Structure 1
């Protein structure tokens, strides 16, 4: 089974990316995980979490934190341009960037790869593989909108992290699960962790 690449950037709401990894592993999927340099800083400032940078230590960290032993997980340094996933010859199911900062989004839209996340996104576009981008910013300025448009034209699917209220969410976790499942709907994965719309109650 081909891997799914999950990238977490330095935008707020990395809990969504974290839950995406957990859900995939719980369903015995294979995950390639990349955190941007900024994501480590966000984890420290927003959540007081120190995530190891060294790949093996990071894999162990996520296994313990997410309490999941199933699936396959491989972690990468943000600057590892020699990684297998940096090459178009390495097959993947697709890539999800969640949350995606406007800096990362802008560089991908410009074809300017500074780190492994941006290089992997470029690979997915050039190989015509699914690239799901979940931008986390508000309000959007015209530059943001133009960059989003460029990526959509290039083949990326833009899925903002917007929850639904018809599910009658009771917790923040309910909201996060809705966002994550909808992200994977766009990738063709069918995870039944949410209440789906079946029409109005009568």
Structure 2
């Protein structure tokens, strides 16, 4: 397996970002440690057609089957599972992504509260100088949110608000989701084919997107 990635999904709107990222990480043969907050489960079951179970083992089986992952590739931890490897710097993942990230989680990480495994995993990632990516999903941002993001950016975290671009002429919600997922994968240094690169040869763009994405004749 290429890398070990901790993926944390919290209760912000935008569950599609986290689910698509999970799918791609597994497809790219990463080992994934997954944590879902209770509000995240509610949001997934509200915003999508998925009906994700509540227990960690059942969640792992559900997504392993859904995304056709290899046996043992996906591990799901409970919020209070303090013996999980990601609770310690001696077994920290190569990178941690919080996607989507609530402003409450942003605040908890910024002040290092570590009250549960979600917060602890992010805290360990920072202290071990590993990559931490926060896909914050909120608008507008208050001064508190901006100060927390600035504080974490100065610590080395990558602040990546869920702001998809439109220059590639998206034709669906899936296109917008893929824009953000591609950017996260780029920052994880994972090679992917989710979207073409800016300035890519015309044929590469044509092979990826229908002609009406590029022609300007929509």
**Taking structure 2 as the reference length, what is the TM-score of the superposition?**
0.85
- CA distance in 2 between counterparts of 1:81 and 1:168 reads 45
SS at match of 1:92: coil
Unaligned runs of 5+ in 1: none
Q: Is the 8 A contact 1:11 1:42 kept in 2?
A: yes
Q: CA deviation at 1:54?
A: 2.1
- CA distance in 2 between counterparts of 1:10 and 1:178 reads 21
Q: Is the 8 A contact 1:16 1:180 kept in 2?
A: yes
Q: CA RMSD in A?
A: 1.9
Which residues of 2 match residues 33-112 of structure 1 at below 5 A? 33-47=34-48, 49-66=50-67, 68-70=68-70, 72-112=73-113
Larger radius of gyration: 2
Alignment size in residue pairs: 200
- CA distance in 2 between counterparts of 1:32 and 1:6 reads 6
Q: Is the 8 A contact 2:85 2:92 kept in 1?
A: no
1:164-194 deviation line (CA, Å, top 9, x unaligned): 2122222111111111010121121121210
Unaligned runs of 5+ in 2: 203-218
Which residues of 2 match residues 106-145 of structure 1 at below 5 A? 106-145=107-146
- CA distance in 2 between counterparts of 1:168 and 1:50 reads 31
1:95-127 deviation line (CA, Å, top 9, x unaligned): 010000000000110111222111000000000
